[in-house]
A and B are shown apart, each in its own frame.
Chain A
Amino acid sequence: MSVRTHLRAPIEWRGNKISPIGQAVRCTPSAWFGFVWNRPVAVKIQPADGEPYIRAVYDLTRIIQILIVCASLVVMLLLNRMTNRR
């Protein structure tokens, strides 16, 4: 299993250099099977005049899904405790 961060060649646009950054999780447990998970991570911006900065790329759908699952687990735990107290 390997995790690699890739930087794409910068795209020049009105003096700014925009370099998208991606991350690839590669897993080949055997010579017969494998999977690759590619996801965007961030964008590096190099303005014509100024310091470079990075904008993170968030997967908002996944964050909301994780929050819903965590919230439901907390609710189930609270329900269980309330039922046991009675």
Chain B
Amino acid sequence: MSDVEPEPTQPESTNEFDIEKAMDNIHDTLDQFAATADVNAVYGEAIEHENHLIIPAAEVISFLGFGIGGGSGDSEGGKGVGIGGGGGGKAFARPVAVIVASERGVTVKPVVDFTKIYLTAFTALGFITAAWLRMHRGK
């Protein structure tokens, strides 16, 4: 038997393969994500209710991001190589309107989010008050 211990070899090819695999996964996911730009994401299933046909409509915003990185350096036991990556995404959906079809025709009824409107109004009021106070103090 030889006294020489085999030098720990770093399977670089495996790392390259991992990166390629990760890149493929990322591109696949981004392609799937891009495919969400579809009209079916916005309009829901039509519901028939008491001589009315109702189609809900919503606004959908989705974000997706990825990151991947690697590094290598000498360590006591041999070469040190590390690869890491991550990703995340979020989708927001907000009802915008309801399309109602009846005997009299088709109408679009908007969905009003009063909470958002109140928040906007209070924020604007806050800015106006702050600006007014600053103007008076600056005299």
- Chain A residue numbers with a CB within 8 Å of B107 are 55
Q: Is the CB of A18 within 8 A of B53?
A: yes
The proximity string for A residues 30-44 relative to B, scoring 1 for CB distances below 8 Å and 0 otherwise, is 011111111110010
Q: Is the CB of B55 within 8 A of A20?
A: yes
Closest to B98 in A: A57
Q: Which B residues from 1 to 49 make CB contacts under 8 A with A?
A: 26-27, 30, 33-34, 36-43, 46, 48
Which label, helix, strand, loop or mixed, suits the secondary structure of the B interface?
A: mixed
Interface residues on A, range: 35 or more
Our count of residue pairs bridging A and B at CB distance below 8 angstroms stands at 165
Q: Are A34 and B64 CB-contacts (below 8 A) given A7-B39, A24-B37, A69-B124? A: yes
Q: Are A83 and B43 CB-contacts (below 8 A) given A28-B34, A40-B96? A: no
Further 20 A-B residue pairs, CB within 8 A, beyond A6-B38, A18-B55, A38-B62: A11-B53, A13-B46, A13-B48, A13-B53, A18-B46, A20-B43, A20-B55, A34-B65, A35-B62, A36-B62, A38-B42, A39-B42, A40-B97, A43-B108, A57-B108, A61-B111, A61-B113, A61-B116, A64-B120, A76-B131
Please give the residue numbers on chain B whose beta carbons come within 8 Å of chain A beta carbons, in ascending order.
Answer: 26-27, 30, 33-34, 36-43, 46, 48, 53, 55, 57-67, 94, 96-97, 99, 101, 103, 105-108, 110-113, 116-117, 120-121, 124-125, 127-128, 131-132, 135-136, 138-139
